[in-house]
């Protein structure tokens, strides 16, 4: 039975996402992806120009979502930025767990990827929002801790369903940021 092109591309992206998250981007070959999808490497290359093109398409929704979060936070100042930044970041990482794991496993190399050209700047602005726009070292260090911890928790096995995990992550992030912002 022939596969439709759109469905086949989605299957390739899904398989590549899983393999990149478990074996790393560098540790996954096109042949590995083709074998898991159940096709030849040539068939895979018919749909994508190479592994880099697969990664670009895999990361595109996460990059768009980060840009949307950045835009939502842009006009917020001081404490008004903290809760939306924490909630937005937790939601982002929960939604894009695999992509975040792929990135965290090879941050320096991944950030040189063309699909992620805007990520360092947007991450700096997210850090600034999490720190309540403060230039002081303590809130900025706390914000860095939140940036690092949320992906670590979201990409590890946890017995909590996502809704409960979200609630715990947001409350914990707000405590880390030393914010007395009301959140259930």
CA distance 143 to 115: 25
Q: What is the pLDDT of residue 103?
A: 80
Q: What is the pLDDT of residue 1?
A: 42
User: Where along the chain do its domains lie?
Assistant: 5-48, 60-176
CA distance 63 to 99: 10
Q: Is the domain covering 5-48 a CATH 1.10.10.60 domain?
A: yes
Residues 6+ apart with CB under 8 A from 168: 160
Q: What is the pLDDT of residue 4?
A: 67
CB atoms within 10 A of CB 88: 21
pTM: 0.73
Q: What is the pLDDT of residue 101?
A: 84
Q: What is the pLDDT of residue 92?
A: 95
Distances (CA, A) of 23 to 18, 19, 93, 131: 8, 6, 20, 34
Which of 58, 17, 26 has its CA nearest to residue 155?
17
Q: What is the pLDDT of residue 184?
A: 52
Distances (CA, A) of 10 to 18, 43, 163: 12, 14, 26
CA distance 173 to 86: 7
Task: Mark the ranges of the chain whose per-residue pLDDT is less than 70.
Answer: 1-4, 107, 110, 180-184
Residues 6+ apart with CB under 8 A from 97: 154, 155
* DSSP character string of 79-99: HHHHHHHHHHHHHHHHHTHHH
Q: Within 13 A of 46's CA, how many CA atoms are on the CB side? A: 10
Structure tokens at 165: 């995990």
Give burial (CB, 10 Å; 0-12/13-18/19+) of 72: middle
């Amino acid at each position: 039975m022939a596969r439709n092109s759109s469905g086949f591309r989605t299957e390739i992206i899904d398989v590549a996402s899983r393999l990149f998250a478990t074996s790393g981007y560098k540790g996954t070959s096109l042949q590995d992806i083709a074998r898991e999808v159940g096709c030849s490497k040539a068939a895979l290359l018919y749909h994508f120009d190479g592994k880099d093109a697969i990664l670009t398409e895999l990361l595109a929704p996460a990059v768009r979502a980060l840009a949307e979060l950045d835009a939502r936070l842009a006009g917020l100042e001081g404490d008004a930025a903290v809760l939306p930044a924490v909630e937005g970041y937790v939601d982002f990482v929960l939604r894009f767990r695999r992509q975040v794991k792929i990135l965290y496993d090879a941050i320096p190399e991944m950030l040189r990827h063309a699909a992620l050209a805007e990520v360092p700047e947007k991450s700096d602005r997210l850090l600034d929002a999490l720190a309540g726009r403060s230039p002081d070292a303590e809130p900025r260090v706390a914000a860095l801790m939140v940036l690092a911890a949320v992906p670590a928790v979201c990409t590890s096995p946890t017995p909590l369903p996502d809704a409960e995990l979200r609630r715990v992550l947001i409350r914990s992030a707000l405590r880390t940021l030393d914010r007395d912002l009301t959140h259930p």
